[in-house]
Chains A and B, each alone.
Chain A
Amino acid sequence: MLDAIDKTLLKTVADLEGLPKGAYNIRKNGKLLSRQVSANIDIESNAEGTGIVVTVKPGTKNESVHIPVILSQAGLYDVVYNTFIIGEDADVTIVAGCGIHCGSSEPEGHAGIHEFQVGKRAKVTYVEKHYASGDGRGRRSLNPTTRVFLAEGARAEMELTQIAGVDEANRVNEADLGPDSMLLITERVLTDGDQSAVSTNNIVMKGAGSRANMISRSVMKGNSKQIFYATIDAQNRCFGHIECDAIIMDNGTNETMPSLKAGHPDAELTHEASIGKIANDQLTKLMSLGLTYDQAVNRIIQGFLK
């Protein structure tokens, strides 16, 4: 059922050696490949047949859902709409990811539109990895969108990673925070060659006592380009922070635009942004511990994107 390419893609985007334990839904080339539900986590195709609805029962603890997507069919652009309904007081981990293997000159792509409705006091950890491989020259594009709605006291930690091989990415993250909720987004994007990536983030802090932290780490190698937009719109007493760091290697370019809007007198908003080459004192330090220049560069980038 899983061929060698499928297995490599699954290992890279979802750390899976084979089929996972617990609930999962594996989509291959636009179609369902395999699905399993658990006592507390249900997965159903949505009414339009364009994606899935994952429903986690209230109070479910320490369970996980894997929903990887793999693409290896030339010329296919797969669009999927997934909805996650996380019941009150639940604590779950969702592992998503898309792996593209492109073996021809035809373009391939995937757009995953993921919506999260996180119930009161529930906690969700969402891990998403994007990766493309293959010898084909077809353009590989990955355009993920996440929309997060946090109810009172809910918490979401999102780790969004684009590892390698993606020619074009248009990433959108939107969040809507209720009272005392908390959102932590960590986005890591590595581009190389002539690749480009745009990340647009809009975080709306509606509830009193809500907290948001958006961390972005970008590395541009070759002639690649990345653009990062992040807006925190504070409509209540809240705390929000944006931290965006970009490392330029070779001839990469970057534009970073953090933006803070305080629509309430008790909103506390901060941001820090930096763009530049690897700092010389970091390279010197690692070389003084015995690494060569190239090893030091790799180690610093590896840590930065960890």
Chain B
Amino acid sequence: MLELKNIYFTIPESEEREGGRRNIINGIDYVFEKGKFYAITGPNGSGKTTLAKLIMGIYPLSQGTILFKGQDISPLSITERAKAGIAYSFQQPARFKGITFRDLLTIATGVDDERKLLEILGRVGICPLSFLDKEVDARLSGGEIKKIELATTIAANPALAIYDEPDTGIDLWTIGPMVSLLKKELAERQTTTIVVSHNRAFLEAADVVMIINSGRIVYDGNLEGAMPLLDDLSVCTYRDSCEGERDAGCYR
């Protein structure tokens, strides 16, 4: 349902290496199947979030093509991709002055009927009713805003839902219900689900674990098969520059 064809995202290299260019996403080909749960993981800076943002159209492709339900969506704007059925949950959600959770739900669903909004809240489950008229501003805690972010994504009934680190700021007791909720949406609506995460709960829930490193897919398959590689990647790659203890146990 989603096909990435030889996609690249290239940026100018940092100032010290003048004139150079660097591929953040370095030639990815992949086919995501309808109704499956994908977990994308990999070290910091490997390109996971960039890949997710290329799919949503937040970053422009430097090269390659993205097909969604057979249609080339590469030239489409964020708005057009949203209307085509892709939803995106941000790692660090925007905060607004004067816009409430209710407003965001209404924008996402076109529903402003109180009873229907309450139904949606019931379905999403992890947001208390008291959230509905809260402003989505700087007063919300990190966990509260992430729940709201997840809820607006689910409420839009997307064919493809992308979640960038949905567990950031979420307490341990909510991660389990959050995983169950995504699985339930997938089972009931065949929502193709992509979660970028380091959290084992999401990796275990996924049908397919993908590991990204240096802008390429270095593994896709079940979690068991991914484990040796994940252990390898957890070894510090910064020791040369950090000049710390030989093994300080710092999993960067």
A binds B: yes
Which residues of A are in contact with B by a Cβ distance under 8 Å? 217, 245, 279, 281-282, 284-293, 299-300, 302-306
Of the listed residues A285, A292, A300, A305, the one surrounded by the most CB atoms of chain B closer than 10 A to its CB is: A285
A284–B57 alpha-carbon span in the complex (Å): 10
Inter-chain contacts of A217 with B (CB < 8 A):
97
Whether B94 lies near A285 (C-beta < 8 A) is yes
A80–B97 alpha-carbon span in the complex (Å): 35
Complex partner residue of A290 from B90, B96, B156, CB under 8 angstroms: B156
Inter-chain contacts of A290 with B (CB < 8 A):
79, 82-83, 107-108, 156
A sample of 22 inter-chain contacts (CB < 8 A) reads: A245-B97, A282-B95, A284-B58, A284-B78, A285-B94, A287-B77, A288-B58, A288-B88, A289-B82, A289-B156, A290-B79, A290-B83, A290-B156, A292-B79, A300-B99, A302-B98, A303-B96, A303-B97, A303-B99, A303-B103, A304-B96, A306-B98
Q: Which residue of A lies closest to B99 (CB)?
A: A303
* A288-B87, A289-B156, A290-B108 given; A281·B94 CB < 8 A: yes
Q: Which residue of A lies closest to B92 (CB)?
A: A281
A46–B56 alpha-carbon span in the complex (Å): 64
Sorted nearest first, the 9 A-B pairs with minimum C-beta distance are A303-B98, A303-B99, A281-B94, A285-B94, A287-B78, A290-B82, A306-B98, A282-B94, A289-B108
Inter-chain contacts of B58 with A (CB < 8 A):
284, 288
Inter-chain contacts of B93 with A (CB < 8 A):
285
Which residues of B are in contact with A by a Cβ distance under 8 Å? 56, 58, 77-79, 82-83, 87-88, 90, 92-99, 103-104, 107-108, 152, 156
Complex partner residue of A289 from B95, B97, B104, CB under 8 angstroms: B104
Whether B94 lies near A284 (C-beta < 8 A) is yes
10 more A-B residue pairs beyond the given contacts A290-B79, A304-B97, with a C-beta to C-beta distance below 8 A: A285-B90, A285-B93, A285-B94, A286-B107, A288-B58, A288-B78, A289-B107, A290-B107, A303-B103, A305-B98
Q: Which residue of B lies closest to A217 (CB)?
A: B97
A3–B92 alpha-carbon span in the complex (Å): 53
Q: How far is the CB of A140 from chain B (nearest CB, A)?
A: 27
A9–B77 alpha-carbon span in the complex (Å): 41
Inter-chain contacts of A287 with B (CB < 8 A):
77-79, 82
A216–B90 alpha-carbon span in the complex (Å): 29
Inter-chain contacts of B107 with A (CB < 8 A):
286, 289-291, 299
Whether B152 lies near A289 (C-beta < 8 A) is yes
A303–B93 alpha-carbon span in the complex (Å): 17
Inter-chain contacts of A292 with B (CB < 8 A):
79
Inter-chain contacts of A245 with B (CB < 8 A):
97
Whether B98 lies near A291 (C-beta < 8 A) is no
Whether B90 lies near A281 (C-beta < 8 A) is yes
Inter-chain contacts of A299 with B (CB < 8 A):
99, 103, 107
A304–B98 alpha-carbon span in the complex (Å): 5
Complex partner residue of B82 from A281, A288, A305, A306, CB under 8 angstroms: A288
Inter-chain contacts of B77 with A (CB < 8 A):
287, 293
Q: Which residue of B lies closest to A274 (CB)?
A: B97
Whether B82 lies near A300 (C-beta < 8 A) is no
A305–B79 alpha-carbon span in the complex (Å): 24
Q: How far is the CB of B84 from chain A (nearest CB, A)?
A: 10
Inter-chain contacts of B87 with A (CB < 8 A):
288-289
Inter-chain contacts of A306 with B (CB < 8 A):
98
Q: Which residue of A lies closest to B87 (CB)?
A: A288
Inter-chain contacts of A281 with B (CB < 8 A):
90, 92, 94
Q: Which residue of A lies closest to B84 (CB)?
A: A290
Inter-chain contacts of B95 with A (CB < 8 A):
282
Inter-chain contacts of A289 with B (CB < 8 A):
82, 87, 104, 107-108, 152, 156
Q: Which residue of A lies closest to B138 (CB)?
A: A272
A236–B56 alpha-carbon span in the complex (Å): 55
Q: Which residue of A lies closest to B135 (CB)?
A: A303
Inter-chain contacts of B92 with A (CB < 8 A):
281
Q: How far is the CB of B67 from chain A (nearest CB, A)?
A: 20
Whether A291 lies near B94 (C-beta < 8 A) is no
A288–B95 alpha-carbon span in the complex (Å): 14
A303–B108 alpha-carbon span in the complex (Å): 16
Inter-chain contacts of B99 with A (CB < 8 A):
299-300, 303
Whether B79 lies near A293 (C-beta < 8 A) is yes
